[in-house]
Amino acid sequence: MPLPEAFDYAEPEGMDLVVGDHVAVPLGPRAVRGVVTAVRDGAGGNRPLKPVLDRIDDPVMPASTLRFVEWAAKYSVDAPGQPLAMALRGLRAPKPKPTKLLRATGALPARATPARQKVLDAIAEGAMPGPELATRAGVSSGVVKGLLDEGVLAIELVMPETRFDDLDWASPGPDLNDSQRAAADVLVEMVHEGGFQAALLDGVTGSGKTEVYLEAVAAALAASPEGQVLVLLPEIALTQAVLARFTTRFGGAPVEWHSAVPPPLRRRAWEGVASGKARIVVGARSALFLPYRDLKLIVVDEEHDGSFKQEEGFIYQARDMAVARAHIEKCAIVLASATPSLETIWNARQGRYRWLKLGARHGAAQLPDVDLIDMRQTPPETGRWLSPPLVEAMVQTFARGEQTLLFLNRRGYAPLVLCRACGERMKAPDSDSWLVEHRYTGRLVCHLTGFSMPRPDKCPHCGAKDSLVSIGPGVERVEEEVRELFPQARVAVFSSDTVFDADGARSLIATMAAGDIDVLVATQAAAKGHDFPNLTLVGVVDADLGLRGGDLRAGERTFQLLAQASGRAGRRDRPGRALLQTYAPDHPVMEALAAQDRDAFIEAEMEARELAVLPPFGRLAAVIVSGPDPVALEAYVRQLASVAPNADGVDIFGPADAPLALIRGRRRKRFLVRADRTVDLQGFLAAWRARARPPGSIRVVLDVDPYSFL
């Protein structure tokens, strides 16, 4: 619960609690779960303390996990209960029930029949569940029951064994090339030395970063019998591909952890991590909060990815928190990327992280040629989205029997629906965002809140019939165009609307990797990390998309995403090509992409950030205030503005209407706080918030290191 600090309870005689124990305690009229954070002698002051009700029989939380939880709460200026709840998420499913097995007691049946003899023969193989015994013996359940009643058979309760695959870390990987070997040696040495050490593993897509960090994983597993490794990935879809590579290399499956893992498996994973039986965890950001017993190595793959930032509930940046966790666990951490974040490059430049650079792509694979298509000079036909040069390249690719990936980071059919008669734009009733048209479902959907409605046949505003038009493309619309252009081609869409879960992702990726799709139209879910051997053409439908509505990282993010997407092409022996459709070919991001000059781009971007003293040269926090009543909200933000502490090296911008000024009926205002790196930003925010308690209907959310400015 979001309580500001831990509460005191009395320890009943004989309970002998230790730090990390799970307990049931009274809170008001209820009994709730808690974790012991400290045990100390002495009474709780003048008031008598309520006693702990019970100890809950779950594995003890390691002290380092608790320290990490406390640190995370402080960093995010949030209540410790928030990250603690995340750390306990694996325990939501009830403990597994023991299974009932029957075994022979050795007693002989009073009356022997052929059916009874068959049962005795079958049970001689070992204990098994009653129904299985009846099936194996080929008798009715009545026969089995009779023997049970007579005491010839007895019930045995057995806890399901939580076994994890044995891993063979001695099995060798491929022969590494020189730059791979050099990087792997450093990582292995870091793991062997122990203690906190961080490294940036920097290499273009396909340069073998995964092969290199697998060497460090093997070293960590070999280092101690309970040594553990955590691999953090930004997307569930990516998890599947990486899991497969671990399984191939180590002959056993790692533990998987993300939102789509069902609760019973989560409990199994949680308990395995706490007991040290689970040696490798591959998961999304929340895997960072598992109760590792002996963590030796953390890998953050695609470290630049914005999905490591959690924006709701407990707000945190998992890449940054992973570094903190490595510090607390005194272990090694590797941040891997082809397009590292400016923050990480800065840390590497400062010498905080070792900077391991891989050479070109491994083997014969070449980086793709990247060309810009100037949409002003070669525009698509009206109502179409693919320009003639891109279509021509697709024709050639198709003719060669190779695959095309069309990348468009927009779900649905069209991002906007408007009325031709009155100009009305379809919006959600309670939010400030346009409704996105989805053709598969025939609905208009708000991607922000999930609100949806059937596509109306007349304008809800002016009532004109058949006046609604779809504006702009989403992946579904591009798919439609591809089907018209290439009726013989096998076309698929990869977005969160077509791929719902890990299994779906796995099977679509496998189909693509097997070459059974000619054109894959995909949002960013497919742009990252995958290795499709026969993919030689990547077309970026709208390269300018991410640059609009620009925030601090718009340029950086666009560069990273498009470099990643382009990097999908030509991963094997055939050359690849990436074509970027843009209306701004002379934008610095587009020029850097076409020239494949990452360093020049980073240099320019760093300079701009340094001038403005923005991250990584300064620090940012957002204060988001929301409430249902505009007048009360305005009054409160004014009050908040008036009590802001005076501090050197801190600038406060706002309050301003948030770009999304209305979500789910709540109006939103924002402050942006910029601080020099020397400022205790968290202390400043906590002091500020304490000076103006919000009325009940108003919520104040602090976002340290914001990534979204909406």
- Positions that interact with ligand ADP (CB under 6 A): 174-177, 180, 203, 205-211, 362, 531
What is the nearest approach in angstroms of ligand ADP to the Cβ of residue 690?
A: 46
Task: Tell me the two tokens of residue 703.
Answer: 């976002």
Give 50: exposed, middle or buried? Use CB within 10 Å, 0-12, 13-18, 19+: middle
Neighbours of 495 (CB within 10 A): 21
- Are the C-beta atoms of residues 603 and 395 closer than 8 Å to each other? no
> Closer CB to ligand ADP, residue 177 or residue 467?
177
What is the nearest approach in angstroms of ligand ADP to the Cβ of residue 531?
A: 5
Q: Measure CA of the first residue to CA of the last residue in the chain; give whole Å.
A: 27
What is the nearest approach in angstroms of ligand ADP to the Cβ of residue 214?
A: 8
> Closer CB to ligand ADP, residue 215 or residue 402?
215
> Closer CB to ligand ADP, residue 84 or residue 367?
367
- Are the C-beta atoms of residues 109 and 116 closer than 8 Å to each other? yes
> Closer CB to ligand ADP, residue 572 or residue 619?
572
Q: What is the distance of C-alpha 395 from the center of its chain?
A: 36
> Closer CB to ligand ADP, residue 82 or residue 207?
207
Q: What is the distance of C-alpha 347 from the center of its chain?
A: 23
What is the nearest approach in angstroms of ligand ADP to the Cβ of residue 256?
A: 19
> Closer CB to ligand ADP, residue 184 or residue 541?
184
> Closer CB to ligand ADP, residue 301 or residue 556?
301
- Are the C-beta atoms of residues 83 and 289 closer than 8 Å to each other? yes
Distance CA 56, CA 45 (A): 27
What is the nearest approach in angstroms of ligand ADP to the Cβ of residue 511?
A: 18
Tell me if residue 455 falls in helix, strand or coil. Answer: coil
Distance CA 697, CA 400 (A): 62
> Closer CB to ligand ADP, residue 257 or residue 532?
532
Q: What's the count of helices (H) and strands (E) in the chain, helices before strands? A: 19, 29
DSSP string, 299-322: EEETTT-GGGEE-SSS-EEHHHHH
What is the nearest approach in angstroms of ligand ADP to the Cβ of residue 306?
A: 19
> Closer CB to ligand ADP, residue 371 or residue 531?
531
What is the nearest approach in angstroms of ligand ADP to the Cβ of residue 228?
A: 22
Give 103: exposed, middle or buried? Use CB within 10 Å, 0-12, 13-18, 19+: middle
The count of C-alpha atoms lying within 13 angstroms of the C-alpha of 528, restricted to the half-sphere facing its C-beta, is 28
> Closer CB to ligand ADP, residue 238 or residue 673?
238
What is the nearest approach in angstroms of ligand ADP to the Cβ of residue 587?
A: 27
Give the residue from 565, 559, 569 showing the smallest Cα distance to 595.
559
Distance CA 655, CA 625 (A): 9
- Are the C-beta atoms of residues 141 and 130 closer than 8 Å to each other? yes
Distance CA 124, CA 126 (A): 5
Q: Using the 8-state DSSP alphabet, how is residue 71 labeled?
A: H
> Closer CB to ligand ADP, residue 212 or residue 543?
212
What is the nearest approach in angstroms of ligand ADP to the Cβ of residue 339?
A: 11
Neighbours of 164 (CB within 10 A): 18
Give the residue from 387, 403, 578 showing the smallest Cα distance to 481.
387
What is the nearest approach in angstroms of ligand ADP to the Cβ of residue 176?
A: 5
- Are the C-beta atoms of residues 122 and 130 closer than 8 Å to each other? no
- Give the pairing type, strands 228-232 and 295-301: parallel
Strand partners, 316: 310
> Closer CB to ligand ADP, residue 233 or residue 428?
233
> Closer CB to ligand ADP, residue 180 or residue 317?
180
DSSP string, 512-535: HHTT--SEEEE-GGGTSS---TTE
What is the nearest approach in angstroms of ligand ADP to the Cβ of residue 299?
A: 11
Q: What share of the chain is helix, strand, coil (3-state, %, to 5)?
A: 35, 25, 45
> Closer CB to ligand ADP, residue 203 or residue 576?
203
Tell me if residue 33 falls in helix, strand or coil. Answer: strand
Distance CA 293, CA 489 (A): 51
The beta-strand segments (E) located in 342-445 are 354-357, 369-374, 403-407, 416-419, 436-438, 443-445
What is the nearest approach in angstroms of ligand ADP to the Cβ of residue 663?
A: 37
> Closer CB to ligand ADP, residue 208 or residue 555?
208
Strand partners, 283: 232, 257
What is the nearest approach in angstroms of ligand ADP to the Cβ of residue 363?
A: 6
What is the nearest approach in angstroms of ligand ADP to the Cβ of residue 408?
A: 22
What is the nearest approach in angstroms of ligand ADP to the Cβ of residue 40?
A: 49
